[in-house]
Structure 1
Amino acid sequence: MKRIVAVILMLLILIISFVSNIQSAGNTITVSGGVTSESQILGSLVSEMIEHYTDNKVEFLNNLGTATIDQQAMQRGDLDISATRYTGTDLVTTLGEKTEKDPTKTLRTVQTQFERRFGYYWSDGYGFSNQFTFLVTKETAKKYHLKTVSDLRRVASRLSLGTDQAWYKRAGDGYLAFSKYYGMKFRDVYPMQVGILYDALVNKELDVILGYSTDGRIGSYDLVMLKDDKKFFPPYAASFVLSKDTLQRYPKLKGILNKLSGTIDTKTMQKLNFQADDEMLEPQKVAKEFLEKHKYFEEGEKK
């Protein structure tokens, strides 16, 4: 009799544990963080807001490197919130549309098409646009009289270029399209991780790099940004995206995360990136300190 009771108790414990695990999994929201400091900071901002204003847990995925990978994960149901998406990138790569130079038109097109095709909510944006920008040292700019991207055409065949790996391969607004648009080819092109581009430039291992306008190292390394005078690059306003299933399961989430919309300008994002890249602070720490400093957690009680 005692053995039967013991077996029953064990079964009850297993059942309770199983049910608890299911409930816990159902209460978890997956958020992508990307591989750059910026995407991880924005992913951490989203995660912190969710955990403060809801009872949900967050699973933070920091190994999804591109918009394409994020989109595939969302369509498989493996990702609830893509914290860092850029309008110009998804307009071309995900939607297959032609590049559009007008920021407002680009945003509206992406918002409309994402809702129509996938049922996703594309937010109005954090408040900044992270533009691709060609960068050189002051020494190189002075030596070759460089102020605009067009100025590179005279000397590109003698210079090496370092780029983001994803951009180099990308159709529509990637390297091949750029080369044709501006009518230039560099002597050598080296696709690599974004994190090492800046050091390679400063150490004279590269002559030119394609960086990001919100990168804090532009100021700390005193680099020169070359103007995209022929306006090749579309606008890249940063936004978060919620999947259809997430909207249905957590209808209040849109309002909570929209507290972030329109509140982070380019200079602010540069400072946040600088804290992560130069001061070596963890992106999560940078995000939490920013939210606390600007009183995001005091706008309403935890729900």
Structure 2
Amino acid sequence: MRNNRVWNTRVAGGGLALVLALSACGGNGDDGDNGDDRELAGETFTVGSKEFTESHVLSNISALLLEDAGAEIVDQTGISGTATVRAALESEEIDLYWDYTGTGWVDILGNTTEDLPDDLYSAVVEEDAENGIAWLEPANFENTYRIAVTEDFAGEHGLSTVTDAADFIDENPDQNRLCAASEFINRDDGLPGLEEAYDVDFQAVELDLNLIYPQVGDSCEFGEVFSTDARIDANDLVVLDDDQDFFVPYEGALTLRQETLDEYPVIEELHQPVSEALTDEVVMELNGRVDTAGEDPRDVAEDWLTEQGFID
């Protein structure tokens, strides 16, 4: 498979590089007479992601699928924060990125965790369609927020649920530190809602996502974690059961503008079997190859896609 990625300055924080000239929305087919009969030959797509490992891996999976179908890719992975990457999608600075149903319902569409529909995915699809954004069928994994402690701390204090943690903090208010990233600290489906649901007060210690896991049991008694993150096991952490069912389901799904999907329906065809193969166990393994084994997200994505027969 040829490496036809077009490298561009990565997006960081709020500074978005303008790549409209390379965007796929115009359907640039001027180079389509080179004899390449692949479905997306001559087209260019700008692929974005959020800043954490799983988002990098998933977006590289999408980029490689499109490349294998003949497209060129402008790399804009690593955008910091949901609001920023979503704004990039809406403003056509990127063409697609992976997000999560819970994030879509609460953080993007402005709903609350208390008005959760029975079919969250369908509700997100219907409501976001009004914004011109399409959500492909979700993959077979769910990456949900969780609260974790070290195995030793859980055993010493008999903690297995978030209610146990709330009771412990009520009796030990000086041991309430929670290592968390900025987005979790400020999201309604993150710390503010969690504290209200469990009637507990955490002392938030804001850290970069990658620093949270080794700091649980050191800088903090508790930590925000993702349920598919291999660093949970690598750092001997125990995930506390969300016994009040506060956290919203977060099924991973590719998002893109509806006009892009209408023009290139093959994008959905390419992703459908891949999404079915992306189970909780698979995603945790891929994340672990990056976070604990130090491999590059693109290499991890390419190895897996090749092994599964999704790309040549």
Q: CA deviation at 1:263?
A: 1.4
Report the secondary structure of 1:259's partner residue. Answer: helix
Aligned to 1:11: none
**1:116-265 correspondence to structure 2 within 5 Å:** 117-156=130-169, 157-159=173-175, 160-170=177-187, 172-186=188-202, 188-201=203-216, 204-265=218-279
Residues 97-137 of structure 1 show CA distances to partners (whole Å, capped at 9, x for unaligned) of: 2326878611110111122x123220111210001111111
262, 283, 287: which is aligned to 1:273? 287
* TM-score where L is the length of structure 2: 0.82
Aligned to 1:17: none
Taking the aligned partners of 2:262 and 2:138, their CA distance within structure 1 comes to 21
Taking the aligned partners of 2:300 and 2:192, their CA distance within structure 1 comes to 36
Residues paired across the two proteins, number: 271
Aligned to 1:27: 43
Aligned to 1:10: none
Equivalent position amino acid for 1:184 in 2: V
Q: CA deviation at 1:165?
A: 1.3
Percent identity between matched residues is 25
Q: Is the 8 A contact 1:162 1:208 kept in 2?
A: yes
Taking the aligned partners of 1:221 and 1:167, their CA distance within structure 2 comes to 20
Report the secondary structure of 2:277's partner residue. Answer: coil
Q: Is the 8 A contact 2:144 2:250 kept in 1?
A: yes
Gaps in structure 1 of 5+ consecutive residues: 1-20, 299-303
Equivalent position amino acid for 1:153 in 2: A
Equivalent position amino acid for 1:48 in 2: L
Taking the aligned partners of 2:162 and 2:237, their CA distance within structure 1 comes to 14
Report the secondary structure of 2:265's partner residue. Answer: coil
Taking the aligned partners of 1:290 and 1:103, their CA distance within structure 2 comes to 34
2:302 is the alignment partner of 1:288: yes
Q: CA deviation at 1:271?
A: 0.7
Moved segments of 4+, more than 6 Å: 100-103
Q: Is the 8 A contact 1:101 1:235 kept in 2?
A: no
* TM-score where L is the length of structure 1: 0.84
Q: Is the 8 A contact 1:275 1:281 kept in 2?
A: yes
Aligned to 2:91: 76
Taking the aligned partners of 2:296 and 2:212, their CA distance within structure 1 comes to 20
Q: Is the 8 A contact 1:120 1:243 kept in 2?
A: yes
Taking the aligned partners of 1:103 and 1:128, their CA distance within structure 2 comes to 19
Q: CA deviation at 1:63?
A: 2.7
Equivalent position amino acid for 2:63 in 1: S
Q: CA deviation at 1:255?
A: 1.2
2:116 is the alignment partner of 1:99: no
Residues 236-276 of structure 1 show CA distances to partners (whole Å, capped at 9, x for unaligned) of: 00110121232243232221122322211111111111100
Gaps in structure 2 of 5+ consecutive residues: 1-27, 32-41
Identify the structure with bigger relative contact order (alpha carbons < 8 Å, sequence gap 6+): 1
Taking the aligned partners of 1:103 and 1:47, their CA distance within structure 2 comes to 32
Q: Which has the larger radius of gyration?
A: 1
Tell me which protein shows more helix as a share of its residues: 1
Q: Is the 8 A contact 1:67 1:90 kept in 2?
A: no
Aligned to 1:37: 53
